[in-house]
Chains A and B, each alone.
Chain A
Amino acid sequence: DSGVTQTPKHLITATGQRVTLRCSPRSGDLSVYWYQQSLDQGLQFLIQYYNGEERAKGNILERFSAQQFPDLHSELNLSSLELGDSALYFCASSVGTSGEDWETQYFGPGTRLLVL
């Protein structure tokens, strides 16, 4: 168990809908990352937050957005869903500051999204 939690584990929805994925980082971690794993694209970085602020953006679609709250949990919002958005979405967290192992990312169990 990495200490990173994600809910829900599975999500089935229809095209055009909107969903919210939730992530709670490890205790003490300030950085949260979101990744998408699909068969054709592999593992791709979406977005990073550090202590409530957006730090870096990757291949995140405009239909997707995220935020990190004061208690450091994060939510990834996916809207106007398409069939191609079906994937496994991972959240990872790291300490994000100085110290031993501060940059290492620990992954949650993922949310499996199926868009029908």
Chain B
Amino acid sequence: AQTVTQSQPEMSVQEAETVTLSCTYDTSESDYYLFWYKQPPSRQMILVIRQEAYKQQNATENRFSVNFQKAAKSFSLKISDSQLGDAAMYFCALSGAGSYQLTFGKGTKLSVIP
């Protein structure tokens, strides 16, 4: 069974500052994928970034980057130059190579303070 844990139910960050959201996971698969999804108040699920477990290089997408520590089973999301539009619920998710269903963490609610 796969599990994803987000230990920070809520976080806040000042506009233009940097914030890091934590995620740990557990899986018995050797090949898997990790994702961060953003869910704003509209409730739409928006893909933020993806990481392939076999790639050691950390993924980046503009102001979003991850710190993927495979041995520690850790996958944190760093948001640089935070903007008001970044305020949302952020979900960490895992899919294994055997079955591609996503297992989600419980989410971290991020507030951005002007």
Which A residues fall within an 8 A CB radius of B?
2, 31, 33, 35, 42-45, 48, 55-56, 58, 88, 90, 92, 94, 96, 101, 103-107, 109-110, 112
Interface centre among B37, B46, B101, B103 (most CB of A within 10 A): B101
Given contacts A90-B45, A104-B35, contact A43 B101 (CB under 8 A): no
Contacts of A106 in B (CB 8 A): 47
Contacts of A45 in B (CB 8 A): 101-103
Given contacts A42-B107, A43-B91, contact A105 B43 (CB under 8 A): no
- Taken together as a complex, chains A and B put the C-alpha atoms of A48 and B101 apart, in Å, by 7
Contacts of B95 in A (CB 8 A): 103, 105
Which B residues fall within an 8 A CB radius of A?
33, 35, 37, 42-47, 50, 91, 95, 99-104, 106-107
- Taken together as a complex, chains A and B put the C-alpha atoms of A46 and B103 apart, in Å, by 11
- Taken together as a complex, chains A and B put the C-alpha atoms of A35 and B42 apart, in Å, by 17
A93 to chain B, nearest CB (A): 11
Among candidates A35, A43, A56, A107, residue contacting B99 with C-beta atoms closer than 8 Å: A56
Contacts of B37 in A (CB 8 A): 107
Q: Which 9 A-B pairs have the closest CB atoms?
A: A107-B45, A43-B104, A45-B101, A56-B99, A103-B100, A42-B106, A109-B44, A104-B50, A56-B101
- Taken together as a complex, chains A and B put the C-alpha atoms of A112 and B43 apart, in Å, by 10
